[in-house]
């Protein structure tokens, strides 16, 4: 039985989830991929931080050490921000590794060039976890791209925002307390600015746009607002009128063929398809040429929903090497 060595960049909420699932699902993964996946190395920023034990695994704060692991085949990336994550993945692909990422801030910008590089060196890129946590929206659109056509996308793409809005509405919880709970549950980023300002949902929308339409709208022309613009009174008043605020990201082609996108809180009534989506759930309504609107719903953040789709991506890449997930 061949062994494929894997590295995890980042050992916080998502990185630890990947480590646990790869070990808990060892037999299933071996059966499904025909290869034994061994986590050989982990990259962190602060070696002094207390972490769960990972016996026999190299834990380092130097990316160079990761690339020296013999027979490294897969790099999981679960660190934060555009750089150094983008450069690390570029170097991992150049070294012949498949890469699997959850980092939407990096991927919204660098996705196209990473995919091009991966095609060149005949390796694979998985990025299901960059959008909507455990919801298989990337796979769904990849399938639609084979013979159908996506005409518009509307979704709740930030789990933290939906969780906070739900707590405010149902429990009259303050914004600050709800955010604190979202952080404790591993939904919010360590720095939650991107979650509550709308930028996290914006990056996810740009990734979906590239995949669905082969391009992104001009970032500067996309109106973007977060839930940090709403007060508890506004949320409660809306509820009394039978309405709900939802943080909605939308992209579609207009009649002139130009991409139009927006990100921000929208007040909706019970007839709206996103009215019933509560808590950390995300929902993505995909409008298509031939199949009407398909809506996928599920946990948009959290350790295991996110890590599980990353391990699934890795298994797909091991089964179908050279399947770079193209946007063109
Ligand atoms: P986290 O708990 O804050 O963990 C981040 C990890 O990355 C930490 O172990 C940190 O090291 C490490 N790290 C950060 N910068 C680094 C650098 N420059 N070099 C080496 N290591 C670095 O974050 P997370 O929630 O796991 O999220 C990880 C990524 O997944 C983010 O891009 C996030 O947006 C994305 N994501 C998260 C979720 C979720 O539900 N949490 C869902 C989908 C996608 P130290 O521990 O030493 O500080
Ligand atoms: N912080 C993100 C969210 C994680 O709350 O949606 C999932 O991308």
Q: What is the pLDDT of residues 260-274, one digit of tens each?
A: 999 999 999 999 999
In whole angstroms, give the CA distance from residue 169 to residue 239.
Answer: 7
196: tokens are: 């509550």
- Of 324, 85, 300, the C-alpha closest to 76 is 85
Q: Strands, DSSP E only, in 147-268?
A: 150-156, 244-253, 259-268
So what's the pLDDT on residue 327? 39
Q: Give the least confident one: 14-23, 295-304, 313-322.
A: 313-322
User: Looking at the chain, which residues constitute the CATH 3.40.50.720 domain(s)?
Assistant: 3-133+305-318
Q: What residues pair up with 11 in beta bridges, in sequence order?
A: none
User: Looking at the chain, which residues constitute the CATH 3.30.360.10 domain(s)?
Assistant: 137-300
Q: Which ligand is nearest to the CA of 62?
A: 1
| Secondary structure letter of residue 163 according to DSSP | H
Which residue numbers are catalytic? 204
Half-sphere exposure of 280 (CA within 13 A, CB side): 20
pTM (predicted TM-score)? 0.97
3: tokens are: 């062994």
Supply the residue whose CA is at minimum distance from atom 34 of ligand 1.
Answer: 103
- Respond yes or no on whether the N-terminal peptide bond of residue 84 is cis (omega within 30° of 0): yes
Share of the chain above pLDDT 70, in %: 98
CB atoms within 10 A of CB 253: 15
CA distances from 25 to 19, 218, 302 (A): 10, 42, 19
Per the CB < 8 A criterion, the answer to whether 177 and 188 are in contact is no
In whole angstroms, give the CA distance from residue 247 to residue 265.
Answer: 4
283: tokens are: 């929902």
Supply the residue whose CA is at minimum distance from atom 29 of ligand 1.
Answer: 78
Q: What is the pLDDT of residues 179-189, one digit of tens each?
A: 999 999 999 99
In whole angstroms, give the CA distance from residue 307 to residue 312.
Answer: 9
* Average predicted confidence (pLDDT) for the chain: 96
Domain 3-133+305-318, second-level architecture: 3-Layer(aba) Sandwich (3.40)
Counting from 1 in the atom list of ligand 2, the atom nearest the Cα of 130 is 8
Instruction: Verify whether ligand 2 is closer than 6 Å to residue 281 (CB atom).
Output: no
Q: Which ligand is nearest to the CA of 201?
A: 2
In whole angstroms, give the CA distance from residue 39 to residue 131.
Answer: 24
If one residue of 157, 195, 247, 310 were mutated to test the ligand 2 pocket, choosing by the most ligand atoms within 8 A of its CB, it would be: 195
Instruction: Verify whether ligand 1 is closer than 6 Å to residue 16 (CB atom).
Output: no
pLDDT bin (cut points 50, 70, 90) of residue 321 is low
Q: What is the pLDDT of residues 142-178, one digit of tens each?
A: 999 999 999 999 999 999 999 999 999 999 999 999 9
> If you measure from the C-alpha of residue 118 to the centroid of ligand 2, how many angstroms do you get, rounded to a whole number?
26
pLDDT at 102 over 50: yes
Return the CATH class of domain 137-300: alpha beta
Instruction: Verify whether ligand 2 is closer than 6 Å to residue 160 (CB atom).
Output: yes
Residue with tokens 């709800």: 178
């Amino acid at each position: 039985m061949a062994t494929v060595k894997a590295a995890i960049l980042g050992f916080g909420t998502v990185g630890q989830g990947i480590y646990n699932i790869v070990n808990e699902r060892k037999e299933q993964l071996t059966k499904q991929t025909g290869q034994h996946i061994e986590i050989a190395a982990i990259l962190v920023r602060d070696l002094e931080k207390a972490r769960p034990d990972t016996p026999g695994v190299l834990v380092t704060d130097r990316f160079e050490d990761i690339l020296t692991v013999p027979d490294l085949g897969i790099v999981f990336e679960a660190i934060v921000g555009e750089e150094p994550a983008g450069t690390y993945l570029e170097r991992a692909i150049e070294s012949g590794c498949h890469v699997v990422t959850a980092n939407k801030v990096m991927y919204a910008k660098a996705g196209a060039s990473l995919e091009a590089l991966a095609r060149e060196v005949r390796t694979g890129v998985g990025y299901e976890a960059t959008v909507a946590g455990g919801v298989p929206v990337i796979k769904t659109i990849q399938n639609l791209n084979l013979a159908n056509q996506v005409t518009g996308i509307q979704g709740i793409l930030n789990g933290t925002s939906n969780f906070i809005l739900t707590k405010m509405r149902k429990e009259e919880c303050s914004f600050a307390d709800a955010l604190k709970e979202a952080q404790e549950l591993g939904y919010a980023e360590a720095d939650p600015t991107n979650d509550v300002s709308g930028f996290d949902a914006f990056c996810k929308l740009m990734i979906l746009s590239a995949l669905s339409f082969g391009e992104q709208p001009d970032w500067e022309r996309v109106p973007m607002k977060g839930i940090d613009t709403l007060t508890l009174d506004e949320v409660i008043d809306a509820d009394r009128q039978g309405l709900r605020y939802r943080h909605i990201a939308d992209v579609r082609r207009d009649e002139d063929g130009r991409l139009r996108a927006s990100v921000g809180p929208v007040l909706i009534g019970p007839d709206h398809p996103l009215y019933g989506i509560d808590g950390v759930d995300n929902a993505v309504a995909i409008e298509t040429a031939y199949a009407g609107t398909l809506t996928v719903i599920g946990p948009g953040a959290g350790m295991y929903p996110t890590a599980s789709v990353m391990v699934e991506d890795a298994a797909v890449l091991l089964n179908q090497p050279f399947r770079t997930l193209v946007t063109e």
